Amino acid sequence: MVIKKNKRSALFVAIVILLGFTNNASASTLDSVSHIHHIKVVEKKVLVLTHEGLFELVGKSEMKLVGKDKFDVMGFTNLGKILVASGHPSQGSKMPNPIGLVKSLDGGSTWKTVSLIGKVDFHSLEGAGSDLYGADSQTGNLMYSADSGKSWRSLGTNIFTDIAVSPNMPAMAIAINNSELLLTKNAFKSTTKIKNALKFSQIEWRNSGLYALSGSALYKSTNSGKTWTKLSTFKGVTGILSASDQLMLVTVGSDIYTSSNAGKKFKIVS
């Protein structure tokens, strides 16, 4: 999810309130971390981005630390098997501040620097293939990389609340701006508005289609957002949407729901 600066803090507060996080030093449950930035799905795993490091959610509130590098994980996504992240070093860490872009080839056990060391703190990252978009918290700009984060160019002030990157077409993506969808085929050098009556809050693009949240429902599109079919309705306003080709996650209030059949049926994490 790529978040505009003026909405980022509001989303963080909402996550803290909805999931009931408190301020304990160690973290092994959802309510024992001091800050939660996002929840992401990678393959069949649910990963939690926290101030104390990257955790895997293994039960309703049970988490286990991924790796030994307890850095403040702000931006995070995956490019296939490669995990990429950004953020700040934790207390006592020798990592630079900010850490720029780092990558992991072993599922988060170890991290290596890619670019922008000490220069950029991405508070959100979205990517697919070798395309990567990052919202820089320090400048407020949206940045784009066509080579998995090795080199970057600025796209100017970030105006998007979320970006879904095409898994098959380089430089193609769909972004949300003021609940409306904008399509680009050239990495946001230009955009085309996708006309639709729905007001979207989150969007994900996977091989099986485009998925988006609107109000209390999950929708799917197989024609790049031109038309949508309702897949599931939840009892409450939806929050986070994250998906891989194997697993989908939706939050509703303090509840986390997952689906293993591309959003047709969900079960609550227990």
pLDDT at 246 over 70: yes
What number is the average pLDDT over the span 183-211?
97
Supply the pTM of this predicted model: 0.87
What fold does the segment set 5-268 form as a domain? Methylamine Dehydrogenase; Chain H (2.130.10)
In the predicted model, what is the mean pLDDT of residues 250-265?
A: 93
The shares of helix, strand and coil residues in the chain, as percent rounded to the nearest 5, are 5, 45, 45
With a cut of 50, say whether residue 155 has pLDDT above it. Answer: yes
Q: What is the largest CA-CA distance in the chain?
A: 51
Report, as an integer, the average pLDDT of 132-147: 96
In the predicted model, is pLDDT for residue 245 greater than 90?
yes
**pLDDT for the residue numbered 1:** 52
pLDDT tens-digit readout, 74-87 = 999 999 999 999 99
How do residues 163-187 score in pLDDT, each as one tens digit? 999 999 999 999 999 999 999 999 9
Q: Tell which residue, 77, 147, 83, 73, has the closest CA to residue 111.
A: 83
C-alpha–C-alpha distance, residues 159 and 179, integer Å? 11
What per-residue confidence (pLDDT) applies to 47?
Answer: 95
* pLDDT at residue 261 is higher than 70: yes
- Per-residue model confidence as pLDDT tens digits over 16-67: 433 333 333 344 666 666 678 899 999 999 999 988 889 999 887 789 999 8
What mean pLDDT, rounded, does the chain reach? 88
Q: Give the pLDDT score at 2.
A: 52
Measured from the Cβ of residue 174, the count of other Cβ atoms closer than 10 Å reads: 26
Q: What average pLDDT does this structure show over 66-74?
A: 87
Q: What are the domain boundaries of the chain?
A: 5-268
**pLDDT at site 254:** 82
